[in-house]
Amino acid sequence: MIIGIPKEIKNNENRVAITPAGVTILNNAGHRVLVEKDAGIGSGFTNEDYRLTGAEIVDQASELWHASEMIMKVKEPLASEYGYFRPGLILFTYLHLAAEPALAKALQDDKVVSIAYETIAVNRTLPLLTPMSEVAGRMSIQIGAQYLQKSNGGQGILLAGVPGVSRGKVSIIGGGVVGTNAAKMAIGLGAEVTIIDLSADRLRQLDDIFGSQIQTLISNPFNIAKAVSEADLLIGAVLIPGAKAPRLVTEDMVKTMKPGSVIVDVAIDQGGIVETIDKVTTHDNPVFVKHGVLHYSVANMPGAVPRTSTIALTNVTVPYALQIANQGVVQAVTNSGALQSGVNTANGSITCAAVASALGTAFTPFDEALEQHTAAS
Ligand SMILES: NC(=O)C1=CN([C@@H]2O[C@H](COP(=O)(O)OP(=O)(O)OC[C@H]3O[C@@H](n4cnc5c(N)ncnc54)[C@H](O)[C@@H]3O)[C@@H](O)[C@H]2O)C=CC1
Ligand SMILES: CC(=O)C(=O)O
């Protein structure tokens, strides 16, 4: 199979969908890998690094998209890339379609087979989301701590406190991968940490991991309101896979926060859990202020630490890319429940139930989408 790796074009997105090590794996299995010129520079990989492992460097994005049977990316295609879509093209990347209806429509209209990293599920885990959630969860605390500084518009508190002065309070809503990694960092800094989750079992696990270093609370509007009002730093870390994030933190709750407090809504890629966040921000201009509270809503946080993130991401994506390339997409998806859960669009249909429900459109299982295609052709 011919696999194309375009340069990412989202604001400050310096990750790339493959490393030279990944090229070697695909090459050794007999596949051709095309890498757009300078695609790896932001992650510290030169064109020569890729050439040495057998990749072909392609100058123009348009040439690469047209020549490739499968495109591997990091972030969802932007509108300027929709023109490259065509029937049968395989697109393997983060998509977050619940928050991207225009992209979903373009993929349907052009009959692209799109496989979203974030909906590939194995035993109720999301192995292609996990490493980036680890990165973003850890980053959320260092970013929040930075914006709590007076010089950056914050209240002017140190999360760790000092002897004789209270420590800062961090409230984390959602105790999955992002939440757990945020908690690790916040505890490490010496903050007072509360974690809220809907699952009592998950709270038990967190209690086993962190013991008395955290306060756990079950998710309901009363507990969320209390934790929000007390937080110096609030982290949004909820996920219902494939679906739009529930708006758990209302505008009235945000109004109860102290001026100069900070919200980092990591769940913004699925629409965000905070009512006062009405836009996705970028690494260039990451924060806006509402009701005196700093809001950070960057949807590609790991893009700011590309060397770590690219390696962590490609460690988990390349084995799936290899399955698709070796078997062809239909056979690979038919053989693998994990890949089946990742297919979001095929032959003009939405093939992921949670995405279809979030977009208010019909859901068609992958095999039925294939049959409809065969019957029509
Ligand atoms: N902004 C960015 O750059 C990045 C964003 N993310 C996003 O962060 C979000 C969280 O991801 P993960 O931690 O990997 O997901 P996860 O599935 O590991 O954890 C989500 C947690 O939310 C909990 N939850 C569900 N409904 C809830 C409710 N009503 N109240 C409280 N908790 C609830 C679940 O029980 C689960 O423990 C996702 O939207 C993910 O895409 C991940 C990486 C980077
Ligand atoms: C999860 C995701 O969308 C990201 O890492 O950018």
CB of 171 within 6 A of ligand 1: the answer is: no
Please list the rounded mean pLDDT of every run of 10 residues in the chain (377 residues). 98 96 98 98 98 98 98 98 98 97 98 98 96 98 98 98 98 98 98 98 98 98 98 98 96 98 97 96 97 98 97 98 98 97 97 96 93 61
Q: Which residue of 178, 181, 201, 305 sits with most ligand 1 atoms within 8 Å of its CB, as the best mutation to test the pocket?
A: 178
Contact 96, 29 (CB under 8 A): no
CB of 129 within 6 A of ligand 1: the answer is: yes
- Residue of 118, 82, 74 lying closest to 304 (CA atoms): 74
> Active site residue: 110, 232, 265, 269, which one?
269
Q: Give per-residue pLDDT as tens, 48-90.
A: 999 999 999 999 999 999 999 999 999 999 999 999 999 999 9
Ligand 2: distance of its center to the CA of 265 in Å?
13
Contact 232, 169 (CB under 8 A): yes
Q: Quote the pLDDT of residue 370.
A: 82
Which ligand minimizes its atom distance to the CA of 202? 1
For residue 238, which atom of ligand 1 is closest to its CA?
Answer: 22
Nearest CA to ligand 1 atom 16: 176
Q: Quote the pLDDT of residue 373.
A: 58
Pairing of strands 32-36, 287-290: unpaired
For residue 117, which atom of ligand 2 is closest to its CA?
Answer: 1
For residue 269, which atom of ligand 2 is closest to its CA?
Answer: 3
Taking the C-alpha atoms of residue 328 and residue 336, their distance in angstroms, rounded to an integer, is 12
| pTM of structure | 0.95
Ligand 1: distance of its center to the CA of 347 in Å?
29
Q: Quote the pLDDT of residue 372.
A: 74
Q: Quote the pLDDT of residue 338.
A: 98
Q: Quote the pLDDT of residue 271.
A: 96
Residue type, 315: N
Nearest CA to ligand 2 atom 5: 132
Which ligand minimizes its atom distance to the CA of 242? 1
Q: Quote the pLDDT of residue 371.
A: 79
Ligand 1: distance of its center to the CA of 176 in Å?
6
Ligand 1: distance of its center to the CA of 313 in Å?
17
Taking the C-alpha atoms of residue 223 and residue 228, their distance in angstroms, rounded to an integer, is 8
ipTM field: 0.99
Contact 227, 171 (CB under 8 A): yes
Q: Is 291 a catalytic residue?
A: no
Ligand 1: distance of its center to the CA of 39 in Å?
29
CB < 8 Å & 24+ apart, contacts of 254-259: 254/228, 254/290, 254/291, 254/293, 255/291, 256/225, 256/228, 256/229, 257/228, 257/229, 257/231, 257/291, 257/292, 257/293, 258/155, 258/232, 258/292, 259/155, 259/292, 259/293
Taking the C-alpha atoms of residue 38 and residue 237, their distance in angstroms, rounded to an integer, is 33
Nearest CA to ligand 2 atom 6: 300
> Active site residue: 31, 96, 110, 197, which one?
96
